[in-house]
Amino acid sequence: MDNFNYYFDNIHLLGIQGMNKKTIQSILERAQYFNQKKKNRKNKILKDNLVINLFFENSTRTKASFEIAAKSMSADILNISVSSSSIKKGETLIDTAATLNAMHPDFLILRHPNSGAAEMLSKHVECSIINAGDGRHEHPTQALLDAAVIKEEGINLEGLKIAICGDILNSRVARSNIYLLTTMGAQVSVIGPPTLIPKDIERMGVKVFFDLDSGLKSSDIIMILRLQNERMDGSETPSKREYYSFFGINENNLKLAKKNALVMHPGPMNRGVEIASLLADNNEISLVKKQVEMGVSVRIACLEMLKLSRNKLLK
């Protein structure tokens, strides 16, 4: 293992909040390095390490991405998916984690529907916790991979104008991205209907737009968030077609943004709801595939970073 310095002093990766610029830069740089070697990235960084993927919510890409990352680092990996019905059977999160902890994993990658679940677990286990999404709170590796993709495009984060569009209220991706992008000096706008914009979000250093046209104006990048179907049935927004007509991004309204503006989406996409199908498939504009690809590299970097902190802090 190279002695790469991440400037990171924690054995857990719980969120972007509180992470400094230097650390973020290091992770992005390292992720880009691993991304270059993607055909030949097998290494032995996590040889003899046990990684457990513990997912209490459905996930395809994040779970697969962590699994591929861990395997390419020669770790042993165990996938556990707990459907919400099994949680109702009675075992608490702490008990599940304690059971797994007793099998001495080195890393526990957790996705959970409740905000703060990863932080809570980190106080009850010895292994390193990686937050792979906790409720509406944070999804740090997603924000890191988004930033790494932007950098990979040769775009500087400092001064960059980014609009995040959609369900900000319920989105952990939005929160992690806001923390990361504002820390790196980008100008962030959020766009969505007032029912999906949480209170006082301006105080997180972003501008709020309820109208797509003015929100998109002069943006370099538009980050589109997934809107859950159950929020478009007259509860938080009146209907799918109303949402699409006010906030759906297509090649037409994209013209309001800067020339050559790029589009990102953390997936999975609702084609024809938050993003026009044609746009989603236009690889000149859409970075969606590159996001998935970079996901693995960012997770390799994060696992390496935590492995190095464990070596340093747990001696």
Partner 1 sequence: MKKTLFQNIRIIDGNLNIDSNKDLLINENSILEISEPFSIKNPDYELIKTSEASFIIPGIIDLRVESRDPGLSHTDNLETLLKSAAKSGVTTMACLPNTKPVIDDPSMVESLSLRAQNFNLTKLLIYGAASIGLNDEKMSELGLLKQAGVVGFTNANKPIYNPLLMKRILSYSTMLDLPVIQHADIPELSMDTEATESENSTRLGLRGVPSITEAMLIERDLHLVKLTNSRYHVSHVSTKEGLQAIERAKNDGLKVTCDTSPPYFILNDLSLSNYDTRYKLSPPLRSDEDRKFVEQSLKNGIIDAISSDHSPQNRDSKLLPFAQAKPGSLGLETLFSTTLSLVNSDKLPIEKAIHLITSGPAKVLNLNLGTISKGRPADLTVIDPDKSWIVKGESMNSLSSNTCFEKMPMQGIILSCWKNGRKIF
Catalog residues that contact partner 1 under the rule CB under 8 A: 17, 92-94, 112-117, 119-120, 134-138, 172, 175, 198-201, 203-204
Q: How far is CA 251 from CA 155, 285, 289, in A?
A: 21, 9, 18
Alpha helices (runs of H) in the chain, residue ranges in sequence order:
21-36, 61-72, 84-88, 93-101, 117-122, 140-152, 172-183, 212-216, 240-247, 277-281, 288-313
The Cβ of residue 182 has, within 10 Å, a number of other Cβ atoms equal to 16
Is 52:99 a contact under the CB 8 Å cutoff?
no
Identity of the residue, 17 or 253, whose beta carbon is nearer to partner 1 in the bound complex: 17
Closer to partner 1 by Cβ: residue 41 or 207 = 207
In angstroms, give the least distance from the CB of 123 to partner 1: 9
- Tokens encoding 300: 């390799």
- Collapsing DSSP to helix, strand or coil, 6 comes out as coil
At closest approach, how far in Å is the CB of 183 from partner 1? 14
In Å, how far are 10, 50, 283, 307 from 303, measured between CA atoms? 12, 12, 29, 6
Shortest CB 210 distance to partner 1, Å:
17
Q: How far apart are CA 266 and CA 272, in angstroms?
A: 16
213 close to 207: Cβ distance less than 8 angstroms: no
Shortest distance, position 136 Cβ to partner 1, whole Å: 3
Q: Which is nearer to partner 1, 59 or 250 (CB)?
A: 59
Give the residue with the Cβ less far from partner 1, 63 or 172: 172
For 130-164, give the DSSP string: EEEEETTTB-HHHHHHHHHHHHHTT--STT-EEEE
In the 8-state DSSP scheme, what is residue 226? P
Least distance to partner 1 from the beta carbon of 120, Å?
Answer: 6
Q: Among residues 34 and 55, whose Cβ is nearest to partner 1?
A: 55
Map residue 209 onto helix, strand or coil: strand
- In the bound complex, what is the minimum distance in angstroms from residue 198's beta carbon to partner 1? 4
Instruction: State how far the Cα of 38 lies from the Cα of 286, in Å rounded to an integer.
Output: 21
Nearer to partner 1 by Cβ, of 5 and 114: the residue is 114
The nearest distance, CB 134 to partner 1, in angstroms, is 7
Minimum CB separation from partner 1 for residue 175, in Å? 6
- In this structure, what are the phi and psi dihedrals at residue 289, rounded to the nearest 5 degrees? -65, -40
**CA nearest 137: which of 182, 165, 176, 94?**
176
Q: Which is nearer to partner 1, 104 or 199 (CB)?
A: 199
- Residue number with CB closer to partner 1 (3 or 235): 235
